[in-house]
Amino acid sequence: SENGGTFDLVILGAGSGGYAAAIRASELGMKVALIEKNKLGGTCLHVGCIPTKALLHSAEVADAARDSETFGVKADFQGIDMPGVNAYKDKVVNRMYRGLTGLIKSHGITVVEGEGRLTGPDEVTVGGAVYKGANILLATGSAPKTLGLDIDGEKVITSEQALEMQSVPASVVVLGGGVIGVEFASVYRSYGAEVTIVEALPHLLPLEDESTSKQLERAFRKRGIKYELGTPFESVKTTDSGVSVSLKGGKSLEADVLLVAIGRGPVSEGLGYEDNGVRMERGFVAVDENLHTGVGNIYAVGDLIPTLQLAHVGFAEGIYVAEQIAGLNPPAIDYDGVPRITYSEPEVASVGLTSAKAKEKGYETVELDYNLGGNGKSQILQTQGSVKVIAQKDGPVLGVHMIGSRVGELTAEGQLIYNWEALPSEVAQLVHPHPTQSEALGEAHLALAGKPLHVH
């Protein structure tokens, strides 16, 4: 519809947060307009979660082909065919995109193509058309931060260009050791590049439990991924052959490509938010515990607000706002209970508090770090790592932290344990299937309950 109209809910941005709100609101009987300037699905579907995980899966296949002799299989690994990798990745994204488009349509949601702007506390304008909403949801998401660097798209790139590489660079410096930097470092290395990660803080994945970060650093070192930790970046110069990256302290690194992965900032400028009284906090839209902005009936979700920048957080927040508007009084989202996964090789996955955070909150804790060396399935996969469980002394589990190939899937159970405030002795009662990696969770809880099985 190019003519505007009046709706129960007008949503600006159709990424994870916006489209989840649209679907839930329409389920609850609301008339919904969903405004998108680019493609339904947003960052996660088109330039985030899905395409990166496809690149990582190709990386896993490459590693398996390269190391096939470990498993007694003769294969002749001839390298990476980037057009083939990209075709596979695009096939996955396109299929999901078609599915999502059909889903949105089947809900009777009015999709508006174009760039919208908040032009009043109850309206969004797209071109000349005004969309009036009894409720408004801001969900314009985030974009890569660039530190003011000149992103030329070839020698200095962000994740968006890294997803479209036509050939594998011989060498890459990855600026930033957070989730996105670590995942791309893992991909580049499996594809055969020389990789160095530069991180200003003392550890890779600085938000994870320190013991997990240290294990990741060891695993990466073994894979030949280099890193400069606690080393702030200073500047970058492009040269004939690539880039020259200067670090504080005088060191400099030469490479074909610099991938800038220092985080993502909200897309909030020039969209009329402040003009209409919406309060901003370092560029993010400030919200209360109901995700309400404090202005009229305007709410905000996803990467635009200062909560965890994850697709599943966007989904949860979108659903929460739709239910809130419908008067269902949904329970608040427990952000500590949201699983966090880095899909590198090895994977890192966690839910709940880190050791440091548990101490900071004043808990007296007990911990058990179960080494995957004792887990049969992990030996079959030839992966190293651990499952660490932190519990309150004589109380429930406070955090689960895992590292190893494929451990991301184990967060499903870690999340239930954490969110149900289970006692280690209760989890120890659960019979885990053998041989699976989930047994490592079982073993850790058996040990915490005072009856260790496969623990020295």
**Footprint of ligand FAD on 93-122 (CB under 6 A):** 115-116
Q: Which two tokens stand for residue 69?
A: 């002799």
Question: Can residue 4 be called a binding residue for ligand FAD (CB under 6 A)?
Answer: no
For residue 331, what is the DSSP state? P
Decide: 372 and 442 in contact? Cβ < 8 Å: no
Angle of helix 411-419 relative to helix 438-448, nearest 10 degrees, comes to 40
Residue 434 annotated as catalytic: yes
Q: Which of 46, 401, 432, 434 is catalytic?
A: 434
**Footprint of ligand FAD on 140-199 (CB under 6 A):** 140-142, 159, 180
Q: Give the separation between CA 176 and CA 166, rounded to whole angstroms.
A: 23
Which CB sits closer to ligand FAD, 352 or 424?
Answer: 352
Question: Can residue 123 be called a binding residue for ligand FAD (CB under 6 A)?
Answer: no
Buried residues in 193-216 as b, exposed as e (16+ CB within 10 A): bbbbbbbbbebbbeebbebbbebb
**Footprint of ligand FAD on 302-331 (CB under 6 A):** 302-304, 309-312, 314
Question: Can residue 390 be called a binding residue for ligand FAD (CB under 6 A)?
Answer: no
CB of 365 to ligand FAD, least distance (A): 28
Placement of tokens 């808990």 in the chain:
363
Question: Can residue 344 be called a binding residue for ligand FAD (CB under 6 A)?
Answer: no
Q: Which two tokens stand for residue 168?
A: 């594998």
Q: Around 15, how many Cα atoms within 13 Å sit in the side-chain half-sphere? A: 30
Which CB sits closer to ligand FAD, 271 or 326?
Answer: 271
**Footprint of ligand FAD on 31-50 (CB under 6 A):** 35-38, 42-44, 48-49
CB of 320 to ligand FAD, least distance (A): 13
Number of residues that bind ligand FAD (CB under 6 A): 35
Task: Rule CB under 6 A: choose which of 52, 307, 375, 438 binds ligand FAD.
Answer: 52
Which CB sits closer to ligand FAD, 220 or 343?
Answer: 343
Other Cβ atoms less than 10 A from the Cβ of 394: the count is 9
Decide: 16 and 143 in contact? Cβ < 8 Å: no
**E-assigned strand segments in 322-454:** 340-342, 347-352, 365-371, 386-392, 397-404
Q: Which residues are catalytic?
A: 434
Footprint of ligand FAD (CB under 6 A): 12-18, 35-38, 42-44, 48-49, 52, 115-116, 139-142, 159, 180, 267, 271, 302-304, 309-312, 314
